[in-house]
Amino acid sequence: MAEKQRILIVDDDENIAELISLYLTKECFETKKAEDGESALACLKDFAPDLILLDLMLPGIDGYQVCREIRKDSSTPIIMLSAKGEVFDKVLGLELGADDYMEKPFDSKELVARVKAVLRRSHSEESQNTKPAEETNEILNFSDLTINKTNYSVMYCGNRVEMPPKELELLYFLAATPNHVYTREQLLDRIWGYDYVGDTRTVDVHIKRIREKINDHDAWKIATIWGVGYMFETH
């Protein structure tokens, strides 16, 4: 029998946490509940979750800070849960490294669908990272920039740049077809998959992160085509 995937539910509302646990248990997930940020961080090593459902409004350490701490040494998928529906809150959560963001109150079927979608993407990335080099010999070279999908690395001006898989995949996809314009919807479908239930702002957030790590070069840049999308422009 296959081992159950483990979901850590971090929410100080006991009723909501229990309800989420019931939904996920019914779908054959193993769950564990934590009522605050400190407890959540303590659970990471012992429980080793495959995915974390993280409420933002927690006592003590809030969800944003918990996300920061997790991302220091872990790529475990995180779905943020919050009653805050403002664009700023969603973008901040994604910039801190969350994989998805859901507003409360949420539909139980949508929650389960998002959990499954994020786990599928995570497992796909892991399988790509473990393929033999001869199967993934995908390296792009530009002036002062090397994007290597064989070992998921980026070298910029002689220095290695740390990028999560989705940032690297987005950069690689754009750079693989220089001077070709892609819409946000096309990039979302190609990089995140047709089953992704987020919105196109996810693309903007990842482009912003990439630009913070690699500056425009005399020979190339990530160009914004206003009203359309993005392209990797070469000169």
| pLDDT confidence of residue 135 | 44
Asked if residue 152 belongs to a domain, the reply is yes
Domain co-membership, 139 together with 125 = no
Residues of the chain with pLDDT under 50: 1, 130-136
The answer to whether 154 and 206 have CB atoms below 8 angstroms apart is no
Reference 114, options 78, 87, 146; nearest CA is 78
The whole-number pLDDT of residue 123 equals 67
Q: Is residue 1 part of a domain?
A: no
- Please give the C-alpha separations between residue 103 and each of 32, 82, 232, in angstroms, as whole numbers: 21, 5, 33
What's the N-to-C CA distance of the chain in angstroms? 55
Q: What is the pLDDT of residue 154?
A: 93
Work out the number of other CB atoms within 10 angstroms of the CB of residue 130. Answer: 8
Domain count, the chain: 2
Determine the pLDDT at residue 51.
95
| Containing structural domain, residue 21 | 6-129
pTM, full prediction: 0.59
Supply 109's token pair.
């079927």
- The DSSP symbol for 192 reads I
- What CATH number has the domain bearing residue 225? 1.10.10.10
